Chain A
Amino acid sequence: MAGPDVSHQQWLVQIDAELDGELSLMERAALAKHLVTCAHCAGARASQLEVRVALARSAGNPHAFVVPRPSIRAGTLMVWVIAALAIGALGGWLADRRWGGPGSGAPLEETRGTIVVQ
């Protein structure tokens, strides 16, 4: 994968993947070999590492091996979307019952005239 024709941008992607622990041994070896000859990529890797150290420190775990990426499962996302839609629909229905449309909310018969015999 990491042959001599791999472009500079792709090496940066490889650095990112390596720091996430997603590269095979062969890919890591190829990357290490490239870093020896490419000062720019070596600098980028050092910079990436410093960013991750800062992130881990701000997350309260300065000794972490990797920065955990936030992951949202599809099922969880679906549950939240459905719950939000249901709450919105219920709130709209209740608001319509309480304040919906112009006019008084009192029952019609209470606002009509009455005749009482004394």
Chain B
Amino acid sequence: MGLSSFSNLLLAVVTLQGPGTRLTYRVRVIEPAAVAPRILASGAVSGPLDNEMRLTLRTDTAEVEALFHLTPFGDTVSLGADFFTRRRAGRSRRGLPLWEEDTYRRLVRIAWSDTARIYPFGDSRRGGLWVELILERQFAGGEGRAGEQFDLADSTRDLRIEAVVRPRRARVILNLVRGDTVSGPRPIDLVLEEPPRVIQLVLMGRATTLVVSVTRPDPSRSSRDRALGLDADVLCLRVAPPDAPEPFGSICGRLNNVARQLALPTGDTLAATFAWPGAR
């Protein structure tokens, strides 16, 4: 790598990867019409710089899902998209619909001020609908949480955009359950890849010490789930005794405030509720 390339990379890392930068995907879904193109939907997804955007378009004969992500590089940005497409291919001999599935990736280099036009159903010369995407970056002002805003002008269309954020930390609320008795909630903020934390839960006068840490789950077996980042907000809580290397087990779940349970060898049950951490 040359010196200027290295400088560019360093500049990109310093100016864009800093905690103060917020990324916004501004989206308009447009359909060609006789007089002027018609805007079917518009919206924006914003969040930290590693924020990704999932776009879903469905018609009677096709479904297009795409996960957009970017890598800043100086004044330009590499916009990548993993597409997962299903197209109606006909009917089987028994009259059931047949679909063909396709997974592929697109990558373009654009400047921050550029507009990328995405033709989700293929060939731009055929005149199908397109999606206009503009990338913006601004000072975050300490706001780190992802946000979505979407206006659907034509409610008959099935269009959706979602923010996809892979959490770096999680708030986990732990309870110990024995029969009808539940210990007081023990909230704890855990950071991925950090050393395990020792916690103590007291139930009916008996203290239980556990060593906990959060990890990402194994990659999904489904190529669609992997491509579209459907398990992006899933984390696993590894639970181990303090004095043995072998863990009791893991509890995996989305950051959606639903309690997951793990049976402990002591006869108690550990309930863990995963949630997004509070703003810092």
Contacts and interface: CB of A to CB of B under 8 A. Distances in A.
A114 B118 contact: yes
A110 B117 contact: no
Interface in B58-91: 64, 66, 79, 81, 83, 85, 87, 89-91
Given A104-B87, A118-B116, A110 B123 contact: yes
Interface of B: 64, 66, 79, 81, 83, 85, 87, 89-92, 98, 100, 102, 104, 106, 108-110, 114-124
B226 to A, nearest CB: 18
A105 to B, nearest CB: 11
Nearest to A111: B122
Which 10 residue pairs of A and B lie closest in terms of their CB atoms, listed nearest first?
Answer: A102-B90, A103-B89, A102-B89, A111-B122, A116-B117, A113-B120, A110-B123, A118-B115, A114-B119, A115-B108
Interface in A74-118: 102-104, 108, 110-118
Given A113-B106, A114-B122, 5 more contacts: A113-B81, A113-B119, A115-B79, A116-B116, A117-B116
Contacts of B90: 102-103
11 contacts: A103-B87, A104-B89, A110-B122, A111-B122, A112-B104, A113-B83, A115-B108, A116-B124, A117-B108, A117-B117, A118-B117
A108 B87 CA distance: 11
A68 B37 CA distance: 78
A55 to B, nearest CB: 50
B68 to A, nearest CB: 9
B99 to A, nearest CB: 9
B183 to A, nearest CB: 51
A108 B83 CA distance: 14
A115 B133 CA distance: 10
B85 A112 contact: yes
Contacts of A117: 108-110, 114-117
A113 B83 CA distance: 8
Contacts of B66: 113
Contacts of A116: 116-119, 124
Contacts of B108: 115, 117
A112 B103 CA distance: 9
A17 B157 CA distance: 84
Contacts of B81: 113, 115
A108 B102 contact: yes
B128 to A, nearest CB: 10
A112 B124 CA distance: 10
B82 to A, nearest CB: 11
Given A114-B106, A115-B117, A103 B123 contact: no
Contacts of B104: 112-113
A103 B81 CA distance: 25
Contacts of A113: 64, 66, 81, 83, 85, 104, 106, 118-122
A99 to B, nearest CB: 11
Contacts of B118: 113-116
A110 B128 CA distance: 12
